[in-house]
Every structure is written in C-alpha cells, then in structure tokens.
Amino acid sequence: MRVDVQLLLMTTAILSFRSPCLCRRAQLPSSLRRHMNRLADPCTDFYEYACGNWMWTHQGRPYRSLLEQLDHVYHGRLAKLLDQPPPQAAKEPRFVRMLRDYYAACRTPLEATPSAEFLLKLCRMAEVDGNELAVALTALFQTDVLLEITDSNLAAVWAQLILRPSAEGDRNASLHQPLSREQFDQLWRRLPAPEETPDEVWPKVKELEEAITAKVEKDALGWLPDTTTDNAGMLFPVPAYWMLPWPTFETGLSYVTHLSQYLASQPPRFLLHYLLLRSLHRDGERAPWSFTRLECAAQGRLFITHAAVWLVEQHHPRLQANGTLQGLFGELKQRFGLKLKANRNKFSAATQRFLLEKLERMSLRLSILPSAEAVESVEERVEQHYKQLRINATDYFGNLLAVMEHSRGQEENPATKYDLHPVEVHGYGSYASPFFMPMGNALLVPLSLLEAPLYRPEQRQVLTYSSLGFILGHELSHGFAPVDVHFDAFGQPNRSKSLSMLTSRRFLSQVLCLHRRHGMYIADEKFADLNGLELAYGAYFEAGGGPGRCTQAQKQLFFFNFAQFFCSDDRNLEDSEEHGSDRQRVNDAMASFDPFRQAYGCKSVRRGSRTRCQLY
C-alpha cells in the first residue's frame, strides 16, 4: 500500500508541472551532473542536492572549491608563461623580469633549513605577524605550499602540521626531547648577534617545552565534547619534519588540540626565536626541497600581483569576452533601473536622481589593472608601483622578505595604497572573486573568473546568466546595499542621502528585516545574493523571452548552475564573516524565491523560510 501511495504522489507531481519537459539527466551537462547528490531533496537542502557530490568528484585535487579551481587553472596558465623564455623581439618591462626572477628562485631546490641569518631577519622586522610566521613555518616544516596564516586560523595551521604523516628516517628520539640548559647555551652561541641574553630567553623556552610535553586528559579541554571511542583510540606518531619536543606517552586528538592551541597562543617573535633554536638542534642534513610550478606561480601572483596580471593579460583570449560581459551587465542595470523607477519606497525626487545617476555611471572592468587609453601608461603605473622592489633570481628567502616589506610599505603609505586596484586574497576569499569598489563606483572582474568550468565562450546562455549574471548582479547590488549606498555616482561619500533614505518607512522596515533575519554583519551580503539572483533570473527568463527559455528544464538548470559557484569540499566552511557558509547562502537564496519552488515543484514553503526582505 505504501508503494502505491508513493507512485500516486509522484504521478500527481509530474502532472502538476506546467511543462512536460523535466530536467532529465541527458539535459544536465555531465560536468554539472557529477556534482549532484540524487538522494537529497532539492526543496529542503538545495545545496546538498546540487553540490553534495562535489567533494568526492574532486577528491585528491589541489583545490577545495570552485573558486580555488579557477585559481588553479589561472596559475597553470601563468606558470606556462613563466616557463617560456622571454621574447627577444620586444623588451619586457622590469616588473615582469622581477616576476620571472621570483619564479626562478622559488623553483630552485631549497636548503632543508633556512640560514640563521634569514630567520633572525624575520625576528627583527618592525612587525612580526602571520606573514613572517607563515614564511618560517613553510621553510622549517618543508610544506608543499606557502602557508596562509590569518588572525583566526593559526591553531588550525599548527594542527595541520602536527597531523602530517611521519617521514621515513625521521626517527631520532633525541631530536624530540626538551632542551637541557647546556644544549640551549650551545645553540645560543651559534646565533649571529641575538638581541636578548640567554638568561632572558631560557626560562621562557623551558616553560614552553614543559607545556608541550605535558600530558592532557581527553576531556580536560572540553573542545571535543563528542569524542568517540574511535577518536579516543587514535594515536599520532611524531609528525613529518617535526623539530619540537614530542611526548613519550601515547598522543591522541586531545593532545593535538592542546598543542596546536598552545603554540598558536605564543608571541610570534618569541616563537620564531624558539623555532630557530630547534632547527639548529635538528641533527643531520635533509635533502633539498622545492615548490611545484603552480605553487611558485601562485606565490608570484600573491606577492607581485599586478605584474602577474599584466603578463597573463597579454596572452589571454578571454579578454574578447569583454563585450559579452558588458552586454550582460547592461541588461542587469536596466532590470535594476526598472525597480528603482517603480519607487516602492516613495523616495524623494532628489533621492531618486541620486540612485539612478549612480546606477547609470556604474562601470564594469574585466581587469584589476587601471584603465588607460595607451598601454604604455598602464605599464608606467605598474612600474612605478614596484619601483622600490628588488628581487634576486637565486635568493628565495631574501625575496620573501623583500616582497613582505614592499607590501607593508604600500599599506602604510596612503599615497600609494590605492595607486593600483588592490587585490586581497584573504579579504575577498579568492583571487577569482569579483568585487565592487564603492569609491570608484565600479565592478572589477578578475580575468581568472572567465575560465572553465564557470565560463566557456560556446556555453549555453542559461549557464552564463545563472553564473556570471548572478555574480555581476550580486556586485551591482552592493552599490545599493545599506553599507555602501551613500557613495554617489563618482564614488564620493554623501551620508545625507543614506540618512534621508532611512526616512522611508518601507525602506527602513526592509533594512531591519535583513538585520533580524540574517544578522547585521551579513545583511548586505544577503541582500546582494537575493537581489543578484532575481536580476539574473529576470534578465534571462522575463526580459529575454524566446522559445524554449521558460521550460521547466531550463529553470531547473538555471538554479542548479547558480549553486555550482558555491560548491566546495567543506560544505559548512565559512566563506567569511560577511558572507556566511556556502550552504546557507544557497539555501537562503532558494528558500524565499518563488520561481525556484515552482521549478522544482516545492509545494509548501520550507520550514523556517519566510517572505523575502526586498529593499527596492
């Protein structure tokens, strides 16, 4: 009887669709279909339905999300250019030669242990933060990639180093004992002119090593309240390339948690000194090590960003897609202009002119490089930006110091901070991320975004609108979100306009709606997600029209492809404090969007979802 009821419900759902054309497997591109979790219910967890198999499909790949995949493709393109000899017919700019020198030094096999002089230079820098610590840990523990350390992930980085599989031959137990005072004094005499005395440093070293080797009860921290029998039975050997003390008792997850959190709590400058001592204590020479081609290209792009972008843009065919994107951007602006002109908030005539002029003058650039009528002027600005930087083709660690000092100098000098469009890998999540610059009233789309699987020139329009259309609509919406709406058409702040907008009872109620539902810190991002999706959907299905566009299959494909932009390995990973998790971003956008529920036959509103907050 139960089977009959299920068949009846399935038949009723099929017959209730307006179009008999469902999103069959044959109509979903194989590149998307393999990411689907067919066991998930799209009406209750659309992210799981669209991205549930992404992690297994890309298992073992050197990226953890679609955005990182786009960066991986871009770095491969950059590495290929850097592997080729420079053209002899034309002289390359100095900043490109510096990029090549950095790449060459990075690709050269590196000594197992950096020199004491190099680590002491790190210790003596005016500021010692995550950048210096990342360089030291990368070198000392011989990681495959340059570690990225932020204010919030240092404990996780230490845990990553602790959990690395042990290297063969790294079994000398004497290396992993706490230092005696005699050993400490011998090592201290090998340091080239340290600033502190050994009597000042020894007590801190002793306290640190006692804490490292102290036994921790499994339930002492409360950090693993659901520790299972299996986890409790996990034992960890000495990690690969480990130079710190390691306890003689059996270690499990509680110890790993304790050790990673304790090391993360140490002052960076003191920790660098201590790591230097332990590296000198590590007996035996290890084999030289090196980074991969793509990792060196990624580092070059991270530290000498605009030089890397300039080089790639000289050889990138996607620049021809500028017309396609500009046309799509124009459609989205037109759609949003209609919403503004409807004036549901009953703004004054002056406020309406302010908003419409801002929309009209908003621009889109397919590059982080400055616009210019002549290529030479772009080269001159990039050249000026790197004027003080010096790179040595044979000194990788010296180059790291140079680029960190150059980057810090650019940040501290207001005259140069915005000379070129900044690209912040931590601030924006990925170099492939587009972003809106309120002080320029402009959207910037890095060229790395225009790569497969997100974009192919020959792909169907529904794929372009549901991916790039949403992305452009999202960034456009930021210009009209509560945080940035006060910047005018020329990027100048005008607080009086945003205050006058709040006198609209409807607008104020919708701002408060966003705050109540999503929290103050991510309210703007939620507005941009919802409004960007609505603009892209309307531009394709409502404004575009045309035969075949409004079928059920097309609508399902639109939403399925929209979700692909957010697919990642860690499905609950927070993109940032401003964005929230990828899963929640997809599900929140779908929960209150009527066209989605109609496309997938979701007859009842998902529990916990409510009417959308609409600012305009």
Using alpha carbons, select from 536, 535, 394, 388 the residue that is nearest to residue 462: 536
User: Can you give the pLDDT at residue 595?
Assistant: 95
Evaluated on CA atoms 99, 100, 101, 103, the torsion sign reads positive
Give me the pLDDT at residue 128, please: 81
Quick one: pLDDT at residue 288? 72
What was the pLDDT predicted at 113?
63
Instruction: Count Cβ atoms within 10 A of the Cβ of residue 75 and give its class: 0-12 exposed, 13-18 middle, 19 or more buried.
Output: buried
- Cβ atoms 266, 65 nearer than 8 A: no
The residue type found at 174 is S
What pLDDT is stored for residue 21 in this prediction? 39
224 phi and psi, to 5 degrees?
-120, 70
User: Whole-angstrom Cα distance, residue 568 to residue 584?
Assistant: 13
Pair 66, 450: CB distance under 8 Å: no
The whole-number pLDDT of residue 1 equals 36
Side chain identity at 331, as an amino acid letter?
A: E
Q: What is the pTM (predicted TM-score) of this model?
A: 0.80
Tokens of 582: 């990828």
pLDDT, mean of each 10-residue run, the chain (616 residues) = 38 37 57 93 96 93 89 93 85 94 93 71 79 84 79 88 68 78 90 80 94 71 39 66 86 87 91 88 67 92 90 81 88 97 96 97 87 69 91 91 80 56 46 82 87 89 96 97 95 89 94 91 93 97 67 93 91 55 92 93 64 88
So what's the pLDDT on residue 421?
62
Residues 249, 188: Cα–Cα separation, whole Å: 29
Chain centroid to CA 269: 27
**pLDDT score of 51:** 95
CA atoms of 396 and 405, how far apart (whole Å): 14
